[in-house]
Structure formats: structure tokens, C-alpha cells
A and B are shown apart, each in its own frame.
Chain A
Amino acid sequence: MLTTIAQAVVNGLLIGGIYALVSIGVTLIFGVVKIVNFAQGEFVMIGMYITFFLATSFGIDPLVALVISMLALFFIGVLLQHFLIRRVLELGDMPQIFLTFALSLLLVNIALLLFTANYRTVQTAYSETAIHIGAINVPLAKLIAFAVAMLLSGLLWMFLHGTDLGKAMRAAAQNRDVAMLMGINPDRVYCVAVGVALALAGAAGSLLMPFYPAYPLVGQIFVLMAFVAVVLGTLGNITGALIASLMMGVAESLGIQFVGADSGLIVVFVMLLLTLALRPNGLFGGWSR
């Protein structure tokens, strides 16, 4: 019994790392640019296809492809901010949210046109190996994904707290007008923020590839969980999103184990609604970022 619980917790933490990469991206964009990006999952999908293409055409390992896919997605992010999001910044919530909805629909269907609906997988040496810690079984590909996800989250934290650009980003997030008075160029900051957020989605795509198939709709599977995590962790709060993602991974896994495999999502959503009922701004609403 204890082993079963421990195994369930480990499983939940490992997948929670992936949720974290997606949800940190969403929360970063919201924190800085004040837009909820419903298309974030589609950028995970793009990262997966980039990784798949590099792996099958050039034999590049997904972990190496990660660098390329992050760079590519960063670039896409800058373009996205510059040509699309910038133009709706002054509009209300609704056009903003629906712009990202339309973008998500567009990206899914372009992928369908370019790559068809076929599932694509990459087989790596570590795709099916596992290491054993006592009776606990830890799939290697997922462990690597988790470790890299945590590493990237740490690097992001250091970037936001240790560099001038990062500090400017946090300043712009807290008060745009004051930040401008301080001589911060918000356009540049916004571009970097969206770029970094998409790069994280790209990283998630590369890390998923050794154990998850790519297909045009794949992003929507992950984005739902990411959104719940973002809200639980308080929109705009990066630490909050990280902790909430891991919690949700574990809640989902325990829910499947002890309530039923068709109840994992119910548990997660009910958790979300209850949290909002008690703390309308998410679990970490009172915290400073």
C-alpha cells in the first residue's frame, strides 16, 4: 500500500514538471503583458514537431533539439508579440482572449495541413528504460524531463531576479506606467517575456517527445491542466504556478489511484472551484511575486 501511494506521488510529480513548464509560460505572459494566452498548448505542439523533425531527419537527440526548439519558439514569441498581441493591448479582456483562441485554432489546422493527423513518436535509447529506487519505478525519460523542467524554472527565477532585463520585466509587470517613467521600454520587455514563455513551451515539447506522441491537437491535452495550475497558483505568480502544477500532477495521480481513473479531472476541477470559492485570487494571491 505504501509503495502504491509512493509510486502514485512519484508519477504525479514527474508529469507535474511538464505541466509546470506550460503553466509558467502562461502565467509569465499574464503577469507581464496581462493577456491570457489560450494558444500556449499549440506552442508545445510546435516544439514537439520541431523536435520530431530534427530527430528523424538529422538524428538529433530530443535533449539537444531542446536548445533549437527553445530558440525557434523564442523567436516566434517575439514575432507574435510584435505583430499580433501588441495590437490588442489597449483592448479589453474579450478581444484579447479570443485573439489567442483564434490563434490556437489557426495553428492546429495549419499543423493538420502540413503534418496530417498522424501520430509521430521518437524512439530514444531512454524512452523505455526505468530506474528503480527501492520498489519505486522511475521512467528515465520522465525523470530527465522533470529535472530539466526544474532547472529551467530555476534559471527563469534567476533571470527575473538577477538581471537588469529580468528586473525591468518584473517592474513592468507591477506597474507599466511607473516602469515607463523609469526608462524601461515596455515593447522590448513584452517581446522578451512572450519569447521566454514560448521558449518554455518549446522546451516542454522537446521534453515530451521521447515519451509522448505528437499530433496537431496534442497541445489541448496539456493546456487545460496548465490553466487550472495557473489559476490555482494565482495568475502572474511564477512560483505559484510551479507549486500548483506539481500539486495538480500529484492530485490527479492520487485521484486516479483512489477515486477512479475517470475522476482524476473531476478532482482537479473541484479543487480549482473550491480554492476559488475560498481564495478568489488563487492560493498564492497574498504572496509577493
Chain B
Amino acid sequence: MATTWNSTLAKRRNRRDFLKKSTGAAALAAFGIARKAFTAEPVNIGGLYPLTGSFAQIGQGCVNAAKLAVQMVNEAGGIKSLGGAPLNLIVSDVQSDTTVTRTETDRLISAYKLSAIHGAFASALTLIASEVAERAKMPLLTGSSSDQLNKNRRYTFTPFSRASQFAEAQLQMTKLVSDSPKVAVIFENTAFGTSTSNGLREQASGQGVEVVMFEPYSAGLTDASPLINKVRASGANMLFPVSYLNDLILIIRAIRQNGLEIAINGGSGGFVIPDFYKNVGSVAEGLLGVAHWNHDVNADARKVNENYKKQYGEFLFEYAGGLVAQTFMIADALERAASTDPQKVRDALSTLDVSSGYAAMGPGGKVKFGPNGKNIYAHPVGVQWQHGDLATVFPKEDARAPLLKT
């Protein structure tokens, strides 16, 4: 555990330096590229992430990745059709709070001349940001999985798989473990928990999976034992916890403490981030999950992951990795629009069609948005904790490592 502390300290130092260098007007000079003397005006991109409050942890990682992505675009010469204009990321802390999200989205759009926005991790926050962006006619890219984000939207683009697709993948993966899967679903009573679990319930019988327990719980457990006691009584042979990190740690530990033998598919959320492994340790080995992005899906993704690891000391997790790809999608759209006008960027995004490079480094390897803003090629991958890292093991065509039998 000592290493955890040290590496986090180091990381914090990095992050602090990074932030110092890149706030406000100094942002241009931040990436050591100012000497190249850009003649073109920088293109402002907004990033809305929770840096305080309950999602602070993931939000910090997202900002790190977003900054790395901007640095990569700029080092490759910026937006050529705009005279090599560099991207300038303007980050805002939405404090894991709905009011602040509404205010901050407005503030970014009105105070800066933005060309596009990305954010905001938590589905509830992203929904608000998307409503504001929609009315301000500002394109918004997001990795958030709520299917509501694809309803009646013209300016919201979702390059990665949706909650309903996650459910399908998770159900199919039960066959990796058992021929007659009996699943217990326990989900936190939040937007993320209910939307994901609804998908699981609706599709279970179609996938030949029996759901023997379907239980919402109030997020923020003090003790997971009562819940695990209930899982034991249900006779399930596989558990799907749909939870954020804190509850997940408690659930996994309670399963161990109570000596319950059960296969676990932790889904996405708090399960596919480095901190999960740091907190539960080797108990995590062999556990399955799903993700809309993983750092081993192709060579480009691996390369970005190496860069990120060098700077921040841990692997590039799902949401943050997706963010790097999103930044390149925005750059591609800007390049083709040859304009910083959000309306033109939006139109360029709607005709985006890439199958190589960093913009396409997700599962499926291609990006093209349908009329509802959904990437028609997106699908989730099944991942497994192997030696402290996340390996893609499902579906077969995406698998990068053999399944570790536990």
C-alpha cells in the first residue's frame, strides 16, 4: 500500500504543475509548443468534469487525459486548415452538482468562443450539459452511456456504446463462466445504476440468462454485508454489481469476508478504473467487467496508454481513453469544417467517417454518427483484471488476451 501513497503523491505533483501551467490565458504556453509561434488563433474546446464532490476522482483522470489529447493534436501541428491553429482546452469543475453543471455549461459557452464541448462523466450531469448545449447550438461529445442522450438531440454525439449495449455484452459474457447462468443483479439507485440494470432485466431472457435477484440499493453503503447475505440466499452463481467505486470495494470485500463463492461481472463505472485494483488488491484478479473503451484495443490506444502512464503512473482508463479519441474526432471535424463556428463543427461531426488514427481507436475501430448522434459502429468490450491490468477478453474478435480461468 505504501506504493499507492507514493505514486499518488507523485501524481498529484504532476497534476498540480500541469494545472498551474495550463490555466486561463497561460494555457497556450502550456504544452511547450508556444515557441513554434502559432500565427493562427487557438481553437477553444470546453471540458466539463467533476473535480470535486462524489465523482471527483474520475473527473481528475478525465482532465488529465483531455489535456494529454490536446497536447498530442497540437504537437502534430494543430488544425492545418485553420493555419495550424492549436487547440486550447478550457476546463470547468462542475462539482458533481446539477446546478453547477447548468451554470458552468452556460458560462463556458458564453464567456469563451468555443467550438465544441466534451463532458461530463456522470449521466445526470451530462444530460443537463447536453440540454444546455442543444439550446445554445453547441456540439457536445460524451462517453456517457445513458440512452436518453440519443433522444431528440442534434448537437449531442455519443461515439461509444450505449447502456443498452452494455447490458447485452454483460449477459453474453455469462456463458464464459457457466452454461446455466443464474444471475443476481444489485444496482445503486442512481441514473447509472437504474439505466444499466433495466437493460439487463429486459434482455436477460433473450440471452438465456435467468435473473434470480434484482435489487436496487441506496448508493453510499455503510456496510455491504446485509446485501451479500441476501445474494447468498438467492442461490445465484453469478453477481452483477452496478456500482460506483466505494460501494464496489465494500461489496467485493464483503463477498470475501463472508466466504461466498460466486463469479462476478462488475460492469463498467467504478470497476474499470485503476483505483479499483489499488483498493481491493489481488482479490480483483480474474474478475470480469465491460467497458466502452480499453487501452489494449489497438496499437494507437496502446501508444496513448504508454504516454499517459509515463505522466500519471497508472493506465488510461475507459472514460479518459475515450476522451482522447473524442478530442481527435473534434480535431477531424475542425479540419474539415475549416472553421471554428460551432454550427459548422456540428455539421462536420455529423458527417464524420474515420477508420484509422486516434479518433478511431475504440472497439469497432470506426466512427460514423447516425441521425440520433450514436456511433453506428460502437460496441462494448468484455474486460478482465489480469496482473493488475485490464485485458480485453470478449468478444472473440476484440480479445487481446486469453480468458484467465478462476
Measuring CB to CB, which residues of chain A are less than 8 angstroms from any residue of chain B? 4, 7-8, 11-12, 14-15, 18-19, 53, 55-57, 109, 112, 116-123, 127-130, 137, 139, 141-142, 211-213, 215-217, 221-222, 225, 252-253, 256-257, 260-262, 264-265
The reply to whether B226 and A8 form a contact with Cβ atoms under 8 Å apart is yes
Which listed residue (A57, A118, A142, A217) contacts B8, Cβ 8 A?
A118
| With A128-B256, A212-B250, A213-B249 as contacts: A57 and B2 at CB distance below 8 Å | yes
Which listed residue (A109, A119, A130, A264) contacts B257, Cβ 8 A?
A130
The reply to whether A257 and B1 form a contact with Cβ atoms under 8 Å apart is no
* Residues of B close to A257: CB separation below 8 A: 226, 229-230
8 Å CB contacts to A: which residues of B179-227? 186, 189, 215-218, 220-223, 225-227
The reply to whether A256 and B230 form a contact with Cβ atoms under 8 Å apart is yes
Which listed residue (A15, A56, A57, A123) contacts B223, Cβ 8 A?
A15
* Residues of A close to B307: CB separation below 8 A: none
Q: Chain B 1-35 against A: per-residue CB contact (8 Å), 1 yes, 0 no? A: 11011001000100000000000000000000000
| B152 interface contact, C-beta 8 A | no
* Closest-CB distance, A86 to chain B (whole angstroms): 31
Stretch of B49-57, B83-91, B352-360, B380-388 lying at the A interface: B49-57
* Residues of A close to B2: CB separation below 8 A: 56-57
The reply to whether B226 and A12 form a contact with Cβ atoms under 8 Å apart is yes
* Closest-CB distance, B251 to chain A (whole angstroms): 11
Residue tally, chain B, CB below 8 Å to A: 44
Q: Write the chain B residue with the least CB distance to A217.
A: B54
Complex CA distance for A262 and B60, rounded to whole angstroms: 30
Complex CA distance for A12 and B223, rounded to whole angstroms: 9
* Closest-CB distance, A106 to chain B (whole angstroms): 13
The reply to whether A262 and B189 form a contact with Cβ atoms under 8 Å apart is yes
A-B contact count (CB 8 A): 125
The reply to whether A15 and B222 form a contact with Cβ atoms under 8 Å apart is yes
The reply to whether B4 and A56 form a contact with Cβ atoms under 8 Å apart is yes
Additional pairs, 13, CB under 8 Å, beyond known A215-B57, A221-B220: A15-B225, A56-B5, A109-B52, A117-B52, A121-B249, A123-B1, A127-B253, A128-B253, A128-B283, A130-B259, A217-B54, A261-B217, A261-B218
Measuring CB to CB, which residues of chain B are less than 8 angstroms from any residue of chain A? 1-2, 4-5, 8, 12, 52-54, 56-57, 60, 186, 189, 215-218, 220-223, 225-227, 229-230, 233, 245-246, 249-250, 253-254, 256-259, 275, 278-281, 283
The B contact surface, by secondary structure, is helix
| With A116-B60, A128-B256, A261-B217 as contacts: A7 and B275 at CB distance below 8 Å | no
Q: Write the chain A residue with the least CB distance to B280.
A: A121
Complex CA distance for A102 and B253, rounded to whole angstroms: 34
Complex CA distance for A256 and B186, rounded to whole angstroms: 12
The reply to whether B229 and A7 form a contact with Cβ atoms under 8 Å apart is yes
7 closest cross-chain pairs (CB), A and B: A117-B56, A261-B217, A139-B257, A256-B226, A117-B57, A15-B223, A11-B225
| With A123-B1, A139-B225, A252-B226 as contacts: A262 and B279 at CB distance below 8 Å | no
* Residues of A close to B53: CB separation below 8 A: 217
The reply to whether B249 and A119 form a contact with Cβ atoms under 8 Å apart is yes
Which listed residue (A112, A130, A211, A222) contacts B258, Cβ 8 A?
A130
The reply to whether B246 and A215 form a contact with Cβ atoms under 8 Å apart is yes
Which listed residue (B4, B223, B258) contacts A120, Cβ 8 A?
B4
* Residues of B close to A121: CB separation below 8 A: 1, 249, 278-280
Complex CA distance for A193 and B57, rounded to whole angstroms: 36
The reply to whether A116 and B57 form a contact with Cβ atoms under 8 Å apart is yes
Q: List 22 A-B contacts (CB under 8 A).
A: A4-B233, A15-B225, A56-B2, A56-B4, A116-B12, A116-B57, A116-B60, A118-B8, A119-B279, A120-B4, A120-B5, A120-B279, A121-B280, A127-B253, A137-B259, A139-B225, A211-B253, A217-B53, A253-B226, A256-B230, A264-B217, A264-B218
* Residues of A close to B60: CB separation below 8 A: 116-117
Q: Write the chain A residue with the least CB distance to B257.
A: A139
